Homo-oligomer: A and B are copies of this chain.
Amino acid sequence: MSCRSLFINLAKIHGYCDIDPIFPQRNFFANIIIAILQVILMQKSLDDIDFEKSGGLIPIIVQDANTKDVLTLAYSNKESLELTKKTGNSWFWSRSRKKLWMKGEESGNTQKVIEILVDCDSDAVIYLVEPSGPACHTGEQVCFHNKLEK
C-alpha cells in the first residue's frame, strides 16, 4: 500500500463526520490533520509522473472543462507536459512527426488548459480545457465521432 493510499484509508477509518461522543476533540483534530495530508498528497509534481512505463510518453485525455466532452487522446513526454504547465496551452508529443506540437499552432484552434489531473498510478493525465475551435483535424468538434458497430 502506498503512503498516499494509507492516509486515504486512515481518513476513511476515522470518518470525516464521525465525532467521538466522549472525547469529541480527538476525531476533530485527527480529521483536520488527515484532510491537510490528503490535500498535500493529492498534489502531484512533474517528477511524480511515470513517463518510463510507456517509453517516455503518457496518454493525455483532453476533456472540455465545461461540457465534459472527451475531445482527443494524445501523448506527452515530460517536456510537452512542462510546456503545457508553463504556457497554459495544450502541448503534446507527436508520435508520427516525432516532435513537440501545440494544439492550434497551425489551425488556430488552441486549447486553454484550466487544470491538469493525474490518475492513481501517475501514468495518465487529463487536460481540462476551454477549446477555441474544433478539436479534430477532420473539422469535427471531437475526435471520438465514430461508433463501434454493435
Contact = CB atoms under 8 A, between A and B. Distances in A.
A140 B121 CA distance: 13
Given A63-B70, A70-B70, A150 B8 contact: no
A147 B128 CA distance: 11
| Copies of this chain, tallied across the complex | 2
A148 B42 contact: no
- Chain A interface residue bracket vs B: 35 or more
Interface string A110-150: 00000111111110111000000000111110011111111
Interface of A: 5, 8-9, 12, 42-46, 49, 53, 59, 61, 63, 67-70, 72-73, 81, 85, 95, 115-122, 124-126, 136-140, 143-150
